[in-house]
């Protein structure tokens, strides 16, 4: 039995530090370049594995060098990559400009992540063998919806990060056991301006709704009512990229490992805060040996 199967995206992030965005037709110098493993699916899988869970990753990669590097990155964290589909497209990339002043400008080219594949027997077997399925919306929505419906039909708990926000098929939210939007996603999905109202509204349709609110922590709602607030762990952040994926990955991992919901939420909050104190997404994610001593 696997604790968690993640069906999601894997991208190679190509990160350039530059003073500003060039004008159309302009060529300018940047000051540094780095490649970093990314994509919401890969990030959540890495966060969950570092929190101690056994994890299988169902992604789509091209047969290129980036694909091989991403596979090796997953395997270095002990993640099962047998369910990755090799497709006739380049591996997905995210072209990230980090501007002086800290703002990011990002162009994501989904490539392999965007290939429409049906849910195949390998993927069904991997989901059936897991306790939890975690998905995001960086793979085709039809595939994600099929995986969620299949997971529900075989008693696997479903955890959904609705990012990027998309128009959802009828009945989709009702199949979600744990929905983890950030505040902007929650407001957009619920169509309301207030994040607490959004959490209440969404929890009338999904099971448990956890709305992450950056340095303000998270709100939890169930059955149309707010049930708890999770304080943020106080830190001095240097780069918040990947905080949301760390929170979700660690939350699912600790729930799958048998922690109570309050304990899993606290672990998620501490791990996400630690991830903001270091640069990058997956490279900044803490191991359980770093999180556990801070839990008190
Ligand atoms: P990102 O897109 O940057 O990965 P997100 O928008 O998906 O993030 P956030 O709500 O910003 O998600 O952050 C997720 C969680 O990370 C928060 O609920 C909180 O627990 C933790 N977190 C984020 N920023 C901070 C911070 N500045 N200090 C402490 N904890 C933070």
Q: What is the ipTM of this complex?
A: 0.98
Going by pLDDT thresholds of 50, 70 and 90, the confidence category of residue 100 is confident
> Exposed (0-12), middle (13-18) or buried (19+): which is 45, by Cβ within 10 Å?
buried
Q: Which residues are annotated as a binding site for ATP?
A: 182, 212-217, 244-245
Going by pLDDT thresholds of 50, 70 and 90, the confidence category of residue 104 is confident
For atom 23 of ligand 1, the residue with the nearest CA is 214
- CA–CA separation, 14 vs 295, rounded Å? 34
Q: Using DSSP bridges, classify how beta strands 32-38 and 11-18 pair: parallel, antiparallel or unpaired.
A: antiparallel
Q: Alpha-carbon Rg of the chain, whole angstroms?
A: 18
Q: In sequence order, what are the beta bridge partners of 225?
A: 222
Predicted local confidence at residue 280, as pLDDT: 83
Q: State in Å: Cα 116 to ligand 1 middle.
A: 31
pLDDT score of 25 more than 90: yes
For residue range 154-172, list pLDDT tens digits in order.
Answer: 999 999 999 999 999 999 9
Looking from the CA of residue 245, the nearest atom of ligand 1 is 4
For residue range 255-290, list pLDDT tens digits in order.
Answer: 999 999 999 999 999 999 999 999 888 999 999 999
CATH number of 2-10+40-91+111-161+231-287: 3.40.1190.20
Contact 7, 144 (CB under 8 A): yes
Q: What percent of the chain has pLDDT over 90?
A: 94
Instruction: Determine if ligand 1 sits within 6 Å of the CB of residue 283.
Output: no
Q: Which residues are annotated as a binding site for substrate?
A: 11-13, 39-43, 138, 245
Going by C-beta distance under 8 Å and a sequence separation of 6 or more, which residues neighbour residue 269? 217, 218, 230, 231, 232, 233, 247
Q: Using DSSP bridges, classify how beta strands 178-179 and 157-161 pair: parallel, antiparallel or unpaired.
A: parallel
């Amino acid at each position: 039995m696997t604790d968690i199967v993640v069906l999601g995206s894997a991208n190679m992030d190509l990160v350039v530090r530059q003073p500003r965005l060039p004008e159309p037709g302009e060529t300018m110098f940047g000051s540094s370049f780095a490649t970093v493993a990314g994509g919401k699916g890969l990030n959540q899988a890495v966060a969950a594995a570092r929190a101690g869970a056994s994890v299988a990753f169902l992604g789509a990669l091209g047969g290129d060098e980036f694909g091989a590097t991403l596979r090796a990155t997953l395997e270095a964290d002990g993640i099962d990559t047998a369910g990755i589909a090799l497709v006739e497209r380049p591996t997905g990339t995210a072209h990230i400009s980090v501007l002086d002043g800290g703002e990011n400008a990002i162009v994501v080219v989904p490539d392999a992540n965007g290939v429409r594949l049906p849910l195949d027997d390998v993927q069904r077997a991997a989901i059936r063998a897991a306790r939890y399925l975690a998905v995001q919306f960086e793979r085709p929505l039809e595939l994600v919806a099929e995986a969620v419906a299949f997971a529900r039909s075989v008693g696997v708990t479903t955890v959904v990060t609705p990012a990027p926000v998309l128009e959802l098929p009828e009945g989709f939210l009702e199949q979600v056991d744990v929905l983890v939007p950030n505040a902007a996603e929650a407001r957009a999905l619920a169509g309301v301006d207030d994040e607490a109202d959004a959490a209440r509204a969404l929890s009338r349709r999904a099971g448990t709704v956890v709305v992450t609110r950056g340095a303000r922590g998270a709100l939890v709602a169930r059955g149309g009512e707010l049930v708890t607030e999770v304080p943020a762990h106080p830190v001095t952040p240097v780069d918040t990229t990947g905080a949301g994926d760390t929170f979700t990955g660690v939350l699912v991992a600790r729930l799958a490992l048998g922690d109570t919901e309050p304990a899993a939420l606290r672990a998620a909050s501490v791990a996400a805060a630690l991830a903001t104190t270091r640069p990058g997404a997956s490279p900044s994610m803490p191991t359980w040996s770093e999180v556990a001593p801070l839990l008190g």
